[in-house]
């Protein structure tokens, strides 16, 4: 996969926040093209780097690009990281939750609303459910829930209704067909007023639903925090408010697990924090990076440390 391209976001910030140390072991939960992983290996003497990705193209690209014997690539979903790594502990863990540039740019993957392509959106091409199946087989109520909850789409019900009307005439199987349906569902004056592409939120929602990105996320964050060695750091990059809210709230729960009522003078629940927050507010891209990589504009980095 020589042409697999992924420009890593917040690269300098991630390297600084991982607190790289020689002889330590690191885990890149979302390997992509290996951009973050390459820099981790370049920043340490000795040690090891394990990378996980569900996308076979990413695994092929990263293993072709990174020939360092300290590097190991594992095919799978980072939600299963503990099992994939046989319960190992790490000095630093990175999870970049965004879609890779390669996935967006390869038309046939069906992630982009700018191209005419099969309505797919699977990060793992072997997964059974495609975006086309969701669009053509789910009920109006379920489509409304997906667009509303995963895309924060104000016109979710109307879009779901028009999809159901159109698919009775013929299946909706391409990205351009879906974009046309969304255009028809949202009144023109509101499309123009919003300023962003009218299909952006629906495509985000479908991608999340196809790849089951949100429902396991909180539990996965807890698992990754548990996989850290003492003083190890977990860095998580999110790209929309739904992800960031889950990460922020889960980090806070881990840093302050006490369930005692606020009026209690002393803690009696016995729950002690296992981590401390390194970032109270998310780290975002610099002006320099924004100019170089516009896709970094929505990236937010949060960091915690095992204590």
Q: Give residue 105's pLDDT.
A: 67
Whether the CA torsion 154, 157, 158, 162 is positive or negative: it is: positive
Question: For residues 270 and 253, is the Cβ–Cβ distance under 8 A?
Answer: no
108 — pLDDT class (breaks 50, 70, 90): confident
Percent of the chain scoring above 90 in pLDDT: 80
* Domains of the chain with CATH codes: 11-97+216-306 (3.40.50.150), 106-211 (1.10.150.170)
1 — pLDDT class (breaks 50, 70, 90): very low
180 phi and psi angles, rounded to 5 deg: -65, -40
197 — pLDDT class (breaks 50, 70, 90): confident
- Sequence length of the chain is 307
pTM over 0.75: yes
Distance from C-alpha of 171 to C-alpha of 232, rounded to nearest angstrom: 50
Q: Is the pLDDT of residue 192 over 70?
A: no
Question: For residues 247 and 229, is the Cβ–Cβ distance under 8 A?
Answer: no
Q: Across the chain, what does the average pLDDT equal?
A: 93
Four-point Cα dihedral 279, 27, 254, 231, nearest 10 = -70
Q: Given 3-state DSSP classes, what are the helix, strand and coil percentages for the chain, each rounded to the nearest 5?
A: 45, 15, 40
Q: Is the pLDDT of residue 193 over 80?
A: no
Lowest mean pLDDT among 100-104, 236-240, 258-262, 297-301: 100-104
Question: For residues 232 and 92, is the Cβ–Cβ distance under 8 A?
Answer: yes
3-class state of residue 270 by DSSP: coil
3-class state of residue 207 by DSSP: helix
Distance from C-alpha of 22 to C-alpha of 226, rounded to nearest angstrom: 22
Name the nearest CA neighbour of 235 among 223, 221, 254, 253: 221
Determine the average pLDDT of the residues in 105-128: 89
Question: For residues 103 and 123, is the Cβ–Cβ distance under 8 A?
Answer: yes
Q: Is the pLDDT of residue 2 over 50?
A: no
| SS3 track for 67-123 | CCCCEEEEECCHHHHHHHCCCCCEEEEEEECCCCHHHHHCHHHCCCCCCCCECCCCC
Distance from C-alpha of 239 to C-alpha of 228, rounded to nearest angstrom: 24
Residue 198 is classified by DSSP as: T
Determine the average pLDDT of the residues in 5-11: 80
Q: Is the pLDDT of residue 88 over 60?
A: yes
Q: Give residue 208's pLDDT.
A: 96
Say which residue, 196 or 121, is predicted with more confidence. 121
Question: For residues 147 and 160, is the Cβ–Cβ distance under 8 A?
Answer: yes
Distance from C-alpha of 157 to C-alpha of 140, rounded to nearest angstrom: 8
Q: Give residue 195's pLDDT.
A: 62
């Amino acid at each position: 996969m020589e042409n697999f391209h992924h420009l890593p976001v917040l690269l300098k910030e991630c390297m600084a926040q991982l607190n790289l140390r020689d002889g330590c072991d690191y885990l890149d939960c979302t390997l992509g093209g290996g951009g973050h992983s390459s820099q981790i290996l370049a920043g340490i003497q000795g040690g090891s780097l394990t990378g996980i990705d569900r996308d076979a193209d990413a695994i092929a690209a990263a293993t072709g690009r990174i020939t360092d014997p300290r590097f190991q690539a594992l095919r799978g979903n980072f939600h299963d990281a503990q099992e994939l790594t046989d319960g190992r502990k790490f000095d630093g863990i990175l999870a970049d939750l965004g879609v890779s540039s390669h996935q967006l740019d390869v038309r046939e993957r069906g992630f982009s609303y700018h191209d005419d392509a099969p309505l797919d959106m699977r990060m793992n091409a072997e997964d059974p459910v495609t975006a086309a199946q969701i669009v053509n087989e789910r009920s109006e109520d379920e489509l409304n829930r997906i667009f509303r909850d995963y895309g924060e789409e104000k016109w979710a019900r109307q879009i779901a209704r028009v999809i159901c009307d159109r698919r009775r005439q013929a299946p909706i199987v391409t990205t351009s067909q879906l974009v046309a349906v969304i255009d028809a569902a949202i009144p023109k004056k509101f499309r123009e007023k919003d300023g962003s592409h009218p299909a952006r939120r629906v495509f985000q929602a479908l991608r999340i639903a196809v790849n089951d990105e949100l429902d396991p996320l909180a539990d996965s964050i807890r698992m990754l925090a548990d996989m850290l060695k003492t003083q190890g750091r977990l860095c998580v990059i999110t790209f929309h408010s739904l992800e960031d809210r889950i990460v922020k709230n889960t980090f806070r729960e881990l840093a302050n697990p006490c369930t005692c009522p606020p009026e209690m003078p002393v803690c009696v629940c016995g729950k002690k924090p296992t981590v401390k927050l390194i970032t109270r507010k998310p780290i975002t891209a610099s002006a320099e990076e924004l100019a170089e990589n516009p896709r970094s504009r929505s990236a937010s980095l949060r960091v915690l440390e095992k204590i």
